[in-house]
Amino acid sequence: MKLYSTNLNAPEVSFQEALITGLAPDRGLYMPRSLPTFSKEEIDSFKDVPYPEIAYRVLSKVLEGEVDNESLKAITYDAYNYDVPLEPVDEQTYIMRLDRGPTASFKDFAARMMARLMQYYLSKENRSLTILTATSGDTGSAVADAFYGLDNIKVIVLFPTDEVSDRQRKQMTTLGKNITAISVDGKFDDCQAMVKQAFADEDLKHLNLSSANSINIGRLVPQSIYYIYAYAKLRNYPEDIVYSIPSGNFGNMMGCVLARTMGIPIKKIITSVNENDEVPTFLSTGKYHKIVPSKNCLSNAMNVGHPSNLARLITIYDGVMDEQGNISKEPDMDKLRNDIYSSSVTDEETKATIKEIFEKYNILIEPHGAVGIKGLLDFRAQSGDNTLAVSLETADPAKFPEHVKEQTGVEPALPESLKKVESKDEFMDYLGTEYPAFKKYLQEKLE
């Protein structure tokens, strides 16, 4: 696999190099030049096999020549040792629960695969690495858990002090060892901006920094697999399917785009956002404006005012957007609008959807999953399209017990993965949003 930068001013690299470096030297995001496609027969063959086997079969084609098959099979079966339920809502609607991993978040799918692939490459070359990652909620806990205890990888996680739940924070701050958590007195976008600046800082090159955010292509490739999995389990090729994806930094959405590129007949990708509505506005007007500062909503992992992965989406549609959100070449907006639907969901609508889904179907969902369901309902109301759809539940309801109980009267059961952090001591450092202070912190901690 060869990958290019969305800023189009950096050499093409291998998957290994893109995974280890994270960001291209021109500050663009890496994208695969091409991807394999899966035939009807291959997709049919996935129908009766477990998730880790599907992951292995997909990745063995995508990463052909990058990882030997024996190692790759061991990695996928180790990474995906939990269930991926497809829960029926009605005859035309399913919820794909991506919340059964060790941190009860969909981020486990990418983080666990990334950690194992990085470890595979680094061990072969006897190298070490420091992962910098910004989180608005679940990324940090999934990355911290996935990389915890690895000898040759350190992790530094930045999170906005006031915009993560107590349980999300504790999943990052109770580990120790090779995991450092930094509470930032700002927004997610401030955390993300400092991380990106550190990657581009020549003074820090010797620190061997990399990313586990969705700016890293190693996040997106594993996330494409569950779209292929859901299609294989629910549809018969070439029947269409619709996916509704709660979206913040739009990495999850890009995984779906990659799945479509690999041959899954996805009729529409619904990107449901909270009140940070820069993407629905862009699709409706053709003009992109960041939201600064981002709005603080119930679905806190989606409080993103400038999604990094929008640059990747625009590249797919023959446009160019830089890391600041400036569009130097317009994408094909007609084609983009044909393939992607984006809906903004208010906090009040989020609450009402949690209540409605519980009362009508006896199903518990949390704020992010509610945004996904509401986006799907909006799409159906506007289009009249009732194609079979899968809406993603991206976190366990127990991560947001107050909001869930307020709307349903039910206290969501706490999974074992969350119980274990409740009584542990927390350790974290504190920083503001000024990059020089963060740079000094990195130099003092890592040199």
In a domain, 345, yes or no: yes
Q: What is the pLDDT of residue 138?
A: 79
- Strands of the sheet containing 241-246, edge to edge, are 86-90, 93-97, 389-393, 241-246, 266-273, 340-344
* C-beta neighbour count of 356 within 10 angstroms: 17
225 and 314 co-located in one domain: yes
In a domain, 68, yes or no: no
In a domain, 45, yes or no: no
Q: What is the pLDDT of residue 179?
A: 96
Q: What is the pLDDT of residue 345?
A: 98
In a domain, 28, yes or no: no
308 and 402 co-located in one domain: yes
Total domains in the chain come to 2
In a domain, 313, yes or no: yes
**Phi, psi angle pair for 304, to nearest 5°:** -125, 120
405 and 434 co-located in one domain: no
Q: What is the pLDDT of residue 437?
A: 97
Contacts of 295 (CB under 8 A, 6+ apart): 274, 275, 276, 303, 305
402 and 431 co-located in one domain: no
Do 111 and 137 meet the contact criterion of CB atoms below 8 Å apart? no
Cα–chain center distance at 35:
20
441: domain CATH number is 3.40.50.1100
Q: What is the pLDDT of residue 261?
A: 97
305 and 331 co-located in one domain: yes
Q: What is the pLDDT of residue 73?
A: 98
208 and 228 co-located in one domain: no
In a domain, 88, yes or no: no
368 and 231 co-located in one domain: yes
Q: What is the pLDDT of residue 357?
A: 98
Q: What is the pLDDT of residue 151?
A: 83
In a domain, 324, yes or no: yes
In a domain, 373, yes or no: yes
Q: Alpha-carbon torsion 376, 379, 382, 387, what sign?
A: negative
247 and 391 co-located in one domain: yes
Going from the first residue of the chain to its last (447 residues), give the mean pLDDT of each consecutive group of 10, the final group possibly shorter.
Answer: 96 95 92 97 96 98 95 97 97 97 93 94 91 86 92 94 88 94 94 92 93 87 97 97 96 97 98 97 96 93 92 97 95 98 98 98 97 98 97 94 96 88 92 97 94
Do 63 and 1 meet the contact criterion of CB atoms below 8 Å apart? yes
Say how far apart CA 274 and CA 247 lie, in whole Å: 8
223 and 204 co-located in one domain: no
269 and 398 co-located in one domain: yes
Note the pLDDT tens digit of each residue in 143-184. 999 999 988 899 999 999 998 888 889 999 999 999 999 999
What pTM value is reported for the model? 0.92
Q: What is the pLDDT of residue 213?
A: 77
Note the pLDDT tens digit of each residue in 275-293. 999 999 999 999 999 999 9
276 and 202 co-located in one domain: no
Three-class DSSP labels, the chain: CEEEECCCCCCCEEHHHHHHHCCCCCCCCEEECCCCCCCHHHHHHCCCCCHHHHHHHHHHHHCCCCCCHHHHHHHHHHHCCCCCCEEEEECCEEEEECCCCCCCECHHHHHHHHHHHHHHHHHHHCCCEEEEEECCCHHHHHHHHHHCCCCCEEEEEEEECCCCCHHHHHHHHCCCCCEEEEEECCCHHHHHHHHHHHHHCHHHHHHCEEECCCCCHHHHHHHCHHHHHHHHHHCCCCCCEEEEEECCCCHHHHHHHHHHHCCCCEEEEEEEECCCCHHHHHHHHCCCCCCCCCCCCCCHHHCCCCCCCHHHHHHHCCCEECCCCCEEECCCHHHHHHHEEEEECCHHHHHHHHHHHHHHHCCCCCHHHHHHHHHHHHHHHHHCCCCCEEEEECECHHHCHHHHHHHHCCCCCCCHHHHCCCCCCCCCEEECCCHHHHHHHHHHHHC
271 and 301 co-located in one domain: yes
Domain that holds residue 163: 108-212+420-446
Q: Which two tokens stand for residue 144?
A: 């911290």
